[in-house]
């Protein structure tokens, strides 16, 4: 269990903070990785912004829904009452229905999961507001023997639709570039 890992992606910059990062940068500090860097220290972190962590693909997973979808009253998220849906998702099955402009990204995602020994079928949950807008997604991936079995859960909350985006980029003095971090 690596605990919670917070990631902020700003174009080609990836900021990370959490228990697994703390030994490298110190308590309360963020690790900064330039995803376009050729520095050897950056290489192990580049995959964290791709594959199942590519936030731009999260809604497209829903194209792979298989079987029945269970609906129930959801919680209130951001002041919006929701309906909660639970379903099985087969990412490989989404190939035939995903918009063509996202097909290559889906193929890359599937390949990274396969290489990582992660099942391409996952459990999905979505909370949809009365306005029809997705408020939250939760995906649970089943890990293979190479990752110690178990599961990996990703939760994505959506909010402030139409408002200017504030990523909450950490201050420069709270950031340690990966090249300056303590090796692991």
Digits of tens for pLDDT over the chain (184 positions)? 567 788 888 888 899 998 888 989 999 999 999 988 888 888 877 766 655 566 778 889 999 999 999 999 999 998 889 999 999 999 999 988 999 988 888 888 888 888 777 788 899 999 999 999 999 999 988 877 666 677 888 888 888 888 888 888 999 999 999 999 887 6
Distance CA 117, CA 107 (A): 15
Question: Which phi-psi region, left, alpha or beta, contains residue 79 (left: φ > 0; alpha: ψ -120 to 50)?
Answer: left
Predicted pLDDT of residue 184: 65
Main-chain phi, psi angles of 91, to 5 degrees: -65, -35
Predicted pLDDT of residue 72: 95
Predicted pLDDT of residue 88: 96
Q: Determine what percent of the chain falls in helix, strand and coil, rounding each to the nearest 5.
A: 30, 40, 30
The two tokens of residue 160 are 């402030």
Predicted pLDDT of residue 183: 75
Predicted pLDDT of residue 49: 63
Predicted pLDDT of residue 2: 61
Query: Contact, 18 vs 5, CB < 8 A?
Result: yes
Q: What dihedral angle (degrees, nearest 10) is formed by the CA atoms of 156, 87, 103, 136?
A: -20
Query: Contact, 90 vs 109, CB < 8 A?
Result: no
């Amino acid at each position: 269990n690596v605990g919670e890992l917070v990631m902020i992606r700003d174009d080609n910059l990836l900021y990370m903070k959490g228990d697994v990062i703390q030994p490298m940068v110190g308590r309360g500090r963020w690790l900064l990785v330039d995803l376009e860097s050729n520095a050897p220290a950056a290489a192990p972190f580049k995959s964290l912004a791709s594959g199942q962590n590519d936030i731009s693909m999260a809604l497209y997973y829903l194209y792979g829904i298989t079987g029945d979808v269970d609906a129930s009253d959801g919680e209130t998220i951001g002041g919006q009452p929701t309906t909660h849906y639970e379903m099985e998702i087969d990412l490989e099955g989404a190939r035939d229905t995903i918009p063509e402009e996202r097909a290559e990204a889906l193929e890359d995602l599937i390949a990274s999961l396969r290489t990582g020994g992660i099942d391409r079928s996952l459990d999905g949950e979505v909370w949809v507001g009365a306005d029809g807008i997705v408020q939250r997604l939760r995906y649970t991936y089943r890990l293979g023997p190479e990752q110690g079995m178990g599961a990996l859960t990703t939760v994505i909350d959506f909010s402030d639709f139409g408002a200017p985006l504030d990523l909450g980029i950490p201050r420069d003095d709270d950031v340690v570039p990966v090249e300056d971090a303590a090796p692991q």
